[in-house]
Structure 1
C-alpha cells in the first residue's frame, strides 16, 4: 500500500480562509508555487480548514512550505501540521508518531481502531490447543491475538469480556487459567484482573 501524507491547515479567520482556499484549489499561485505543487498534490477545503494530500513525505514538506509562504504573504494566522495515514489504526497521525514496525505494534493500532478496551486472556496447555482456540474465536468474528499458548480476545466493554469469559469457561477444560484485563494499549497503568476474583464493576473501582 502506498504511503499517504496530508498537510492540514486550520485558518483562524474563516473569511480569509475562503480566499486562500480558492487560491490553493485553483492552483492560482505564483509560478514557483505552481511548479513546486504541480498536479501531484490534491487540495480540498472544508470552510476554514484545508487539506493537501500527497503520496510522499518530500511532497508533503514541499506543500507545507508553500502554504506557509502564502499565509505569510496574506498576513494570515493559521495552524499547519503534517500528518500520515496509519492503515492499521485507520487514522491520520502526526508525523512524530512512528509507523508500527512490529506485529505487536500493528496489533495495538488495530485495537485502538476497533475501540476494544477489554480483553479475555486464556492460557492453554500447549501450542496446538491455542491455535485451535484462536481459529475458533476468529470465526466468531472476534479480534484475537496469540502468543504461543496464550490467547487474547478483545471486547468493547468489561461486561462483554466477562460474558465471553463465562462462555469460554463452559467449553474449555476445567482449571484452564482464564482472566479479564483492560486493553493494555489503552490503559496507561498496567492492571490485571483475574476472572475468578472480579465481577462487572471493576472498571469503576479502578477509575476507568
Structure 2
C-alpha cells in the first residue's frame, strides 16, 4: 500500500487560495463545532475541545503563535499576519466568547470549567454564511490545507485532492446516510480547480 501527502508547494498554494477569500477568522472555530457535532452525534450540549481541534488542523510550530489560520487576510500580504496565538480559549471558551463577534451568532453556550457546553443554533449554516463569508468557501484548498499533515493510503491508482475532500465531508458531518453532500455542505462550500503540477509526493517514513 502506497502513502501520499501533498507537496509543500501545493500546501502553500492552498494557504494563499484561502487567504484571498473573505473568510472570517471565526470560521475556523465554526469548523471545529461542525466536527464536534459529527463526533458526538448531536448538535446540542456539545463539549468543544477547541485546543485539540486547533492542534490537529492548524498547528504549525511550537511558540506563542503556533496556529496558522489563513482566513480574514484579504487586505494583508505578509504571512506573519496568518498566525494565531496559543490562547484559543480567548476566542472560543464559554467565558470568553464575545457577543459582538461572529462565533457567538452560530452557537448558544454556557457553563464554566467542566460544565461548559456549546449548542449549534438552528440554521447555523445560513447564519455562518451571512456572518463569516462573502461567498462559498473553496473546498479543495480548504481540505488540502486542513489535511496537509495526513497521508492518503492507496492500494492502486493515483492520489487526488478528491480523496481529501471526501475525508473532509465525512469527518465534518457534511454527507448524508447515502454519502451525498448535505444541505449544510452545499450552502457553505464550492468546488474549484485544483491546478498544481504534481501536487502529491510519496510520504516519507521515519
**Do both proteins adopt the same fold according to a TM-score greater than 0.5, normalized to the shorter chain?**
no
- TM-score normalized by the length of structure 1: 0.22
Larger Rg: 1
Of structures 1 and 2, the one with the larger relative CO (CA 8 A, separation 6+) is 2
Greater percentage in strand: 1
Normalised by the length of structure 2, the TM-score is 0.22
